[in-house]
Amino acid sequence: MTSLPVIAIDGPAASGKGTLARRLAAGYGFAHLDTGSLYRAVGLSVLRAGGDPADEGQALSAAQALSPGDSVLTDPALRGDNVAHAASLVAAMVEVRAALLKFQRDFATRPPGGRGAVLDGRDIGTGICPNAEAKLFVTASVEVRAERRVKELQAAGLHAIVEIVLEDMKARDERDSRRAVAPLRPAVDAFVLDTSALDADQAFSAALTFIRSRIGPA
Protein backbone atom coordinates (compact mmCIF):
# COMPACT_ATOMS: atom_id res chain seq x y z
CA MET A 1 0.00 0.00 0.00
CA THR A 2 1.47 3.39 -0.94
CA SER A 3 1.14 5.97 1.79
CA LEU A 4 -0.85 9.18 1.35
CA PRO A 5 0.92 12.57 1.34
CA VAL A 6 1.34 14.35 4.66
CA ILE A 7 2.05 18.07 5.16
CA ALA A 8 3.51 18.82 8.61
CA ILE A 9 3.23 22.39 9.90
CA ASP A 10 4.85 23.41 13.17
CA GLY A 11 5.48 26.70 14.91
CA PRO A 12 4.85 28.80 18.01
CA ALA A 13 1.51 30.26 19.16
CA ALA A 14 -0.26 32.64 16.77
CA SER A 15 2.42 32.29 14.08
CA GLY A 16 -0.29 31.79 11.47
CA LYS A 17 0.19 28.02 11.12
CA GLY A 18 -3.50 27.21 11.68
CA THR A 19 -4.69 29.55 8.93
CA LEU A 20 -2.03 28.20 6.57
CA ALA A 21 -2.88 24.61 7.41
CA ARG A 22 -6.59 25.15 6.70
CA ARG A 23 -5.92 26.88 3.38
CA LEU A 24 -3.44 24.23 2.23
CA ALA A 25 -5.84 21.46 3.24
CA ALA A 26 -8.69 23.10 1.33
CA GLY A 27 -6.48 23.64 -1.74
CA TYR A 28 -5.24 20.05 -1.90
CA GLY A 29 -8.49 18.44 -0.72
CA PHE A 30 -6.65 16.97 2.29
CA ALA A 31 -8.04 16.49 5.79
CA HIS A 32 -6.72 18.86 8.47
CA LEU A 33 -5.94 18.12 12.12
CA ASP A 34 -5.19 20.99 14.50
CA THR A 35 -3.23 18.97 17.05
CA GLY A 36 -3.21 21.90 19.51
CA SER A 37 -6.94 21.25 19.93
CA LEU A 38 -6.11 17.81 21.41
CA TYR A 39 -3.92 19.31 24.14
CA ARG A 40 -6.47 22.08 24.66
CA ALA A 41 -9.24 19.47 24.96
CA VAL A 42 -7.27 17.63 27.64
CA GLY A 43 -6.72 20.90 29.53
CA LEU A 44 -10.37 21.92 29.20
CA SER A 45 -11.67 18.51 30.31
CA VAL A 46 -9.59 18.70 33.50
CA LEU A 47 -10.68 22.30 34.19
CA ARG A 48 -14.35 21.42 33.62
CA ALA A 49 -14.08 18.53 36.06
CA GLY A 50 -12.82 21.04 38.65
CA GLY A 51 -9.35 19.48 38.55
CA ASP A 52 -5.79 20.75 38.22
CA PRO A 53 -4.13 20.52 34.76
CA ALA A 54 -0.71 20.40 36.47
CA ASP A 55 -1.70 17.03 38.01
CA GLU A 56 -0.29 14.25 35.79
CA GLY A 57 -2.84 11.63 36.83
CA GLN A 58 -5.81 13.83 36.01
CA ALA A 59 -4.28 14.99 32.71
CA LEU A 60 -3.46 11.43 31.66
CA SER A 61 -7.01 10.18 32.40
CA ALA A 62 -8.44 13.01 30.30
CA ALA A 63 -6.00 12.23 27.44
CA GLN A 64 -6.86 8.52 27.52
CA ALA A 65 -10.60 9.31 27.46
CA LEU A 66 -10.34 11.54 24.34
CA SER A 67 -11.80 10.01 21.17
CA PRO A 68 -12.03 11.42 17.61
CA GLY A 69 -15.77 12.23 17.75
CA ASP A 70 -15.61 13.89 21.17
CA SER A 71 -17.66 17.12 21.40
CA VAL A 72 -14.98 18.79 23.54
CA LEU A 73 -12.78 18.91 20.40
CA THR A 74 -15.08 21.49 18.81
CA ASP A 75 -16.07 23.35 21.99
CA PRO A 76 -15.71 27.17 21.52
CA ALA A 77 -14.22 27.35 25.04
CA LEU A 78 -11.11 25.59 23.65
CA ARG A 79 -9.87 28.91 22.26
CA GLY A 80 -9.66 30.70 25.63
CA ASP A 81 -6.24 31.77 26.93
CA ASN A 82 -6.83 29.94 30.24
CA VAL A 83 -7.24 26.76 28.18
CA ALA A 84 -4.07 27.54 26.16
CA HIS A 85 -2.23 27.78 29.47
CA ALA A 86 -3.68 24.47 30.70
CA ALA A 87 -2.79 22.90 27.32
CA SER A 88 0.85 23.88 27.60
CA LEU A 89 1.01 22.34 31.09
CA VAL A 90 -0.43 18.97 30.02
CA ALA A 91 1.63 19.04 26.79
CA ALA A 92 4.86 18.90 28.80
CA MET A 93 3.88 15.49 30.25
CA VAL A 94 5.47 12.45 28.54
CA GLU A 95 2.53 10.14 29.20
CA VAL A 96 -0.05 12.62 27.94
CA ARG A 97 1.89 13.00 24.69
CA ALA A 98 2.17 9.22 24.36
CA ALA A 99 -1.59 8.85 24.90
CA LEU A 100 -2.29 11.34 22.07
CA LEU A 101 0.25 9.84 19.65
CA LYS A 102 -2.00 7.12 18.22
CA PHE A 103 -4.85 9.58 17.55
CA GLN A 104 -2.48 11.75 15.48
CA ARG A 105 -0.71 8.91 13.62
CA ASP A 106 -4.04 7.27 12.74
CA PHE A 107 -5.23 10.57 11.30
CA ALA A 108 -2.05 10.97 9.24
CA THR A 109 -2.09 7.43 7.84
CA ARG A 110 -5.87 7.11 7.32
CA PRO A 111 -7.16 10.69 6.92
CA PRO A 112 -10.89 11.32 6.42
CA GLY A 113 -11.48 11.63 2.67
CA GLY A 114 -8.53 9.37 1.87
CA ARG A 115 -6.45 11.88 -0.15
CA GLY A 116 -3.85 13.22 2.26
CA ALA A 117 -3.42 15.03 5.56
CA VAL A 118 -2.26 18.34 6.94
CA LEU A 119 -1.34 18.32 10.63
CA ASP A 120 -0.33 21.43 12.53
CA GLY A 121 1.28 21.63 15.95
CA ARG A 122 4.67 21.76 17.63
CA ASP A 123 6.25 18.34 16.96
CA ILE A 124 4.59 17.09 13.76
CA GLY A 125 7.72 17.20 11.58
CA THR A 126 10.07 16.15 14.38
CA GLY A 127 8.04 13.46 16.18
CA ILE A 128 4.55 12.59 14.95
CA CYS A 129 5.21 12.42 11.18
CA PRO A 130 9.01 12.44 10.71
CA ASN A 131 8.53 11.06 7.17
CA ALA A 132 6.09 13.77 6.03
CA GLU A 133 6.59 14.74 2.37
CA ALA A 134 6.59 18.45 3.22
CA LYS A 135 7.50 20.16 6.49
CA LEU A 136 6.93 23.82 7.23
CA PHE A 137 8.03 25.70 10.33
CA VAL A 138 5.98 28.88 10.58
CA THR A 139 7.21 31.60 12.88
CA ALA A 140 6.98 35.35 13.59
CA SER A 141 8.32 37.72 16.24
CA VAL A 142 6.63 37.40 19.62
CA GLU A 143 5.38 41.00 19.39
CA VAL A 144 3.67 40.38 16.05
CA ARG A 145 2.17 37.14 17.36
CA ALA A 146 0.82 38.85 20.49
CA GLU A 147 -0.84 41.54 18.32
CA ARG A 148 -2.44 38.84 16.17
CA ARG A 149 -3.72 36.97 19.22
CA VAL A 150 -5.24 40.18 20.65
CA LYS A 151 -7.08 40.77 17.36
CA GLU A 152 -8.33 37.16 17.35
CA LEU A 153 -9.59 37.45 20.93
CA GLN A 154 -11.25 40.80 20.23
CA ALA A 155 -12.88 39.42 17.08
CA ALA A 156 -14.32 36.66 19.27
CA GLY A 157 -15.80 39.37 21.54
CA LEU A 158 -13.26 38.78 24.32
CA HIS A 159 -11.45 41.49 26.24
CA ALA A 160 -7.68 41.42 25.68
CA ILE A 161 -4.78 43.59 26.84
CA VAL A 162 -1.72 43.41 24.61
CA GLU A 163 0.86 43.59 27.46
CA ILE A 164 -0.75 40.64 29.25
CA VAL A 165 -1.14 38.58 26.08
CA LEU A 166 2.53 39.28 25.26
CA GLU A 167 3.72 38.11 28.68
CA ASP A 168 1.53 34.97 28.51
CA MET A 169 2.87 34.20 25.06
CA LYS A 170 6.50 34.60 26.14
CA ALA A 171 5.87 32.24 29.07
CA ARG A 172 4.20 29.67 26.81
CA ASP A 173 6.99 29.93 24.17
CA GLU A 174 9.51 29.35 26.93
CA ARG A 175 7.65 26.30 28.29
CA ASP A 176 7.09 24.81 24.80
CA SER A 177 10.71 25.32 23.73
CA ARG A 178 12.48 24.24 26.91
CA ARG A 179 10.48 21.18 27.89
CA ALA A 180 12.32 17.86 27.85
CA VAL A 181 9.72 16.05 25.75
CA ALA A 182 9.04 17.11 22.15
CA PRO A 183 10.34 20.68 22.47
CA LEU A 184 9.30 23.18 19.84
CA ARG A 185 12.00 23.33 17.15
CA PRO A 186 12.14 23.11 13.35
CA ALA A 187 12.86 19.70 11.81
CA VAL A 188 16.21 19.71 10.00
CA ASP A 189 14.40 19.32 6.67
CA ALA A 190 11.70 21.93 7.36
CA PHE A 191 11.19 25.07 5.29
CA VAL A 192 11.25 27.94 7.80
CA LEU A 193 8.72 30.65 6.98
CA ASP A 194 8.90 33.89 9.00
CA THR A 195 5.52 35.62 8.65
CA SER A 196 6.41 38.72 10.75
CA ALA A 197 6.22 40.99 7.70
CA LEU A 198 3.73 38.92 5.65
CA ASP A 199 -0.06 39.03 5.56
CA ALA A 200 -2.08 35.80 5.33
CA ASP A 201 -2.12 35.81 1.49
CA GLN A 202 1.63 36.40 1.21
CA ALA A 203 2.33 33.66 3.75
CA PHE A 204 0.04 31.27 1.87
CA SER A 205 1.71 31.99 -1.44
CA ALA A 206 5.22 31.41 -0.01
CA ALA A 207 4.09 28.19 1.65
CA LEU A 208 2.39 26.99 -1.52
CA THR A 209 5.55 27.48 -3.61
CA PHE A 210 7.43 25.23 -1.20
CA ILE A 211 4.65 22.61 -0.92
CA ARG A 212 4.35 22.40 -4.73
CA SER A 213 8.07 21.71 -4.96
CA ARG A 214 7.54 18.74 -2.65
CA ILE A 215 4.22 17.20 -3.58
CA GLY A 216 3.28 18.88 -6.86
CA PRO A 217 0.36 21.18 -7.68
CA ALA A 218 -2.99 20.97 -5.87
Q: How many residues belong to the site for ligand CDP (CB under 6 A)?
A: 15
Question: Does 172 help bind ligand CDP (rule: CB under 6 A)?
Answer: yes
CB within 8 A of 198, min separation 6: which ones? 206
Report the C-alpha gap between 207 and 22 in whole angstroms: 12
Instruction: Report angle CA 106, 211, 213 to the nearest 5 degrees.
Output: 125
| Site stretch for ligand CDP (CB under 6 A), options 23-31, 109-117, 119-127, 210-218 | 119-127
Asked if residue 39 binds ligand CDP (CB under 6 A), the reply is: yes
Q: Which of 40, 58, 99, 111 binds ligand CDP (CB under 6 A)?
A: 40
Per CB under 6 A, does 138 bind ligand CDP? no
Give one DSSP letter per residue of 98-147, joined into a string.
Answer: HHHHHHHHHHHHS-TTSS-EEEEESSIIIII-TT-SEEEEEE--HHHHHH
Q: Candidates 49-57, 81-89, 134-142, 191-199 — which segment interacts with ligand CDP by CB under 6 A?
A: 81-89
Helix (H, G, I), strand (E, B) or coil at 159: coil
CB 42 within 8 A of CB 128: no
- Distance of closest approach, residue 204 Cβ to ligand CDP, in angstroms: 17
Q: Which of 5, 16, 36, 80 touches ligand CDP (CB under 6 A)?
A: 36
Stretch that binds ligand CDP, among 22-30, 35-43, 107-115, 209-217 (CB under 6 A): 35-43
